[in-house]
């Protein structure tokens, strides 16, 4: 496995693979890799000949009071996991490599970035869209794999790839969960045992809403009330948002007549986090058609 530090070196690697007729995949991460990330790698491995994982804690997607300084950085362990997962190259640049001195250009996806996480983290998706555009420009992949846990991010990346005429296939990978059902996240390490137990209210809320939708409930108000009631059983959980939206446009839904994105975010006390709390997100596409799942190739 090759460790790449510069854009020049990364482009040479990708261009050489392309010239040889090999298919290139990128998995963009901020490190602190867990089995959810490795599932993205496995999907990329099935679809491509050369798999590149980027590890970069992107400063432009963090707000002033967020956990940029304390975000888990575990490069040695991440490299070992990538090596075991048959990754071909890891791109781990310094910040100055992607944001040269005097950098003043940003990418914004106007409407998709406004609701859900964008409402409480107004600078977040500008940072995400900017760094993903830079990574795609540097790695020149045929395909890029992103997890559906960050469903809004996935749709933002798909939109920017279409709007900027980028020749890349953006592939969504299903959420990977812990044995107890909690969605895997690098920020789960901030939770102590008590708050970890309370975090499972997200999963119970999604399960309850999905069961109601499958039983015939179509009112967003009724479904969201069930979600709030279930999360309310966790005494320390504060709901950031709980919304039903169109899976592609992220427009609000009052009634669900087909697949609908139920997206939830909560905050929990977390003494291990610099801010003293952790924000967890999860989602479920209700009434999702089987043929909507991403087929392996």
Give the CATH number, domain containing residue 209: 3.30.1300.10
Q: Are residues 134 and 161 in the same domain?
A: yes
| Tokens 């005097």, residue located | 102
> Active-site residue 37, yes or no?
yes
Choosing from 34, 37, 142, 236, the catalytic residue is 37
Beta bridge pairs of residue 262: 244, 284
- Residue 279: per-residue pLDDT: 95
- Residue 289: per-residue pLDDT: 80
Dihedral of alpha carbons 110, 115, 116, 117, sign: positive
Q: Are residues 164 and 190 in the same domain?
A: no
- Residue 290: per-residue pLDDT: 64
Task: Look at the chain and report how many structural domains it folds into.
Answer: 2
Boundary (domain end) residue, out of 129, 147, 173: 173
Q: Has residue 208 been placed in a domain?
A: yes
Q: Are residues 169 and 246 in the same domain?
A: no
Q: Are residues 202 and 150 in the same domain?
A: no
Integer angstrom CA distances of residue 239 from 79, 118, 226, 263, 276: 35, 15, 13, 11, 16
Q: Has residue 178 been placed in a domain?
A: no
Integer angstrom CA distances of residue 208 from 69, 203, 235, 245: 37, 9, 18, 17
pTM of the predicted structure, to 2 decimals: 0.94
- Per-residue confidence of the chain (297 residues) as pLDDT tens digits? 999 999 999 999 999 999 999 999 999 999 999 999 999 999 999 999 999 999 999 999 998 878 888 889 999 999 999 999 999 999 999 999 999 999 999 999 999 999 999 999 989 999 999 999 999 999 999 999 999 999 999 999 999 999 999 999 999 999 999 999 999 999 999 999 999 999 999 999 999 999 999 999 999 999 999 999 999 999 999 999 999 999 999 999 999 999 999 999 999 999 888 789 999 999 999 999 865 444 433
- Residue 70: per-residue pLDDT: 84
Q: Are residues 202 and 112 in the same domain?
A: no
| Tokens 């555009």, residue located | 133
Angle, helices 7-19 vs 124-139, to 10°: value is: 50
């Amino acid at each position: 496995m090759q460790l790449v530090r510069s854009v020049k070196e990364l482009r040479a690697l990708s261009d050489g693979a392309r010239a040889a007729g090999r298919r290139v995949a990128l998995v963009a991460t901020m490190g602190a890799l867990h089995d959810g990330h490795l599932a993205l790698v496995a999907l990329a491995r099935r679809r491509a000949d050369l798999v590149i994982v980027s590890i970069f804690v992107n400063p432009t997607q963090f707000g002033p009071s967020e956990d940029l300084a304390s975000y888990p950085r575990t490069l040695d362990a991440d490299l070992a996991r990538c090596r075991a997962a048959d990754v071909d190259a890891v791109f781990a640049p310094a910040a100055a490599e992607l944001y040269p001195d005097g950098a003043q250009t940003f990418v914004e996806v106007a409407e998709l970035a406004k609701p859900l996480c964008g409402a409480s983290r107004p600078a977040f998706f500008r940072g995400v869209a900017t760094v993903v555009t830079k990574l795609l420009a540097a790695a020149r992949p045929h395909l890029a794999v992103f997890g559906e846990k960050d469903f809004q991010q996935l749709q933002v990346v798909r939109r920017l790839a279409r709007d900027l005429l980028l020749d890349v296939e953006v592939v969504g990978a299903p959420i990977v969960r812990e044995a107890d059902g909690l969605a895997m996240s690098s920020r789960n390490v901030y939770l102590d045992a008590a708050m970890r137990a309370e975090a499972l209210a997200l999963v119970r809320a999604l399960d309850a809403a999905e069961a109601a939708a499958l039983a015939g409930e179509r009112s967003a108000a009724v479904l969201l009330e069930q979600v709030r009631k279930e999360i309310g059983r966790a005494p320390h959980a504060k709901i950031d948002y709980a919304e039903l939206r169109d899976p592609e446009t992220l427009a609000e839904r009052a009634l669900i007549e087909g697949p609908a994105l139920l997206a939830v975010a909560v905050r929990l006390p977390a003494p291990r986090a610099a801010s003293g709390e952790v924000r967890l997100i999860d989602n479920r596409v209700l009434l999702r058609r089987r043929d909507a799942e991403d087929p392996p190739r």
